[in-house]
Structure 1
Amino acid sequence: MSDDADDPHVEVVRAVGHENVTAEHASTVELTTDDWLTPAGDCIVGIEADRTPRDFSAEFREACRDADATIEATFVVDAGDDEYRETITGRGDPELTLLDDRSMVGRTSDYTDDERTILVDGDGAAADLDRDLVAALADGADLTLRLEVDPAE
């Protein structure tokens, strides 16, 4: 694996879980910079994100605007003695702006009509995440989201 810090096609976001993380949403998964979460936020798996799509490099954002690009969102949860890792794979889209300064959303649909969508046609959403991973987030575990875009050749 390459050194992520030097890879223009990788972005890493750090966040934490929250007692209201339920990850029950069937079509989206979200991280937010907010420091709170209501029970209604059933797609949100991490709060206090240290970066937003607006912080991503121009090269990363541009690569995500290719409909043939593959985008992998790998969720790594550090729960002390246990580490959970799960990847949702989707694709890019010419309509992705990746300019939101508050949150980021992966989608199972092809909906792109906002600045926070980070991938479309994902093969999973919050509800598909491993329940042990979700339980660790509900206990406030640390979350690292590694986004990698693989541009079409």
Structure 2
Amino acid sequence: MIVKFEILFSGHENIRSNHQKTIEITKESHLTPQGDCIIGVNASSSCADLPLELKNQLKNPESKIKFSIRVADKEFVLEGKGHPELILSHTEDIVIRKSDFICPRTLAIKCDKASDLLPRDMVTLLQDPKTKGIFTISVG
């Protein structure tokens, strides 16, 4: 059975999306240029807000996790892995990582892409605070 969950987010003028190891979305509305892995602000959910069923699937190392980032008519898809030690308790952020580092903000590890690979035309759209995006988590 595949569990799907969508998180809505907004763009911000300081989005750079050039981090080579992570992608982050945050419920916070403020973003400095140093947050170079952040692709969206004002997110509708954080790790702590995810449904229990989804959290349980994410903690299964056998689960296949697919992420989709949609902005206007553009889509960026990546895959990652779950882990039994995922904490999933951060109240502001969601981070997906290429590494196997786990903290309360970590949603998935060993992902195949990071924010530096987000298409630059999508990043340009996300630099407009009026831009809306959808971050979809699919686990099965």
Q: TM-score, normalised by structure 1?
A: 0.87
Unaligned ranges ≥5, structure 2 = none
- Structure 1 residue 116: Cα displacement: 1.2
Letter in 2 for 1:98: L
Instruction: Work out the CA distance in 2 between the residues paired with 1:36 and 1:87.
Output: 26
Give 4+ residue runs of structure 1 displaced > 6 Å after superposition. Answer: none
| Alignment partner of 1:98 is 2:88 | yes
Instruction: Work out the CA distance in 1 between the residues paired with 2:50 and 2:4.
Output: 9
- Structure 1 residue 133: Cα displacement: 0.8
Identity of aligned residues (%): 30
- Structure 1 residue 8: Cα displacement: 7.1
Q: TM-score, normalised by structure 2?
A: 0.95
Report the RMSD for the aligned CA atoms in angstroms. Answer: 1.2
Instruction: Work out the CA distance in 2 between the residues paired with 1:26 and 1:8.
Output: 29
- The answer on whether the counterparts of 2:2 and 2:139 sit within 8 Å (CA) in structure 1 is no
The alignment of Structure 1 onto Structure 2 pairs a total of residues equal to 139
Unaligned ranges ≥5, structure 1 = 1-6
What aligned pairs does 1:50-129 form with structure 2 within 5 A after superposition? 50-78=44-72, 83-112=73-102, 114-129=103-118
- Structure 1 residue 13: Cα displacement: 0.5
Instruction: Work out the CA distance in 1 between the residues paired with 2:4 and 2:104.
Output: 19
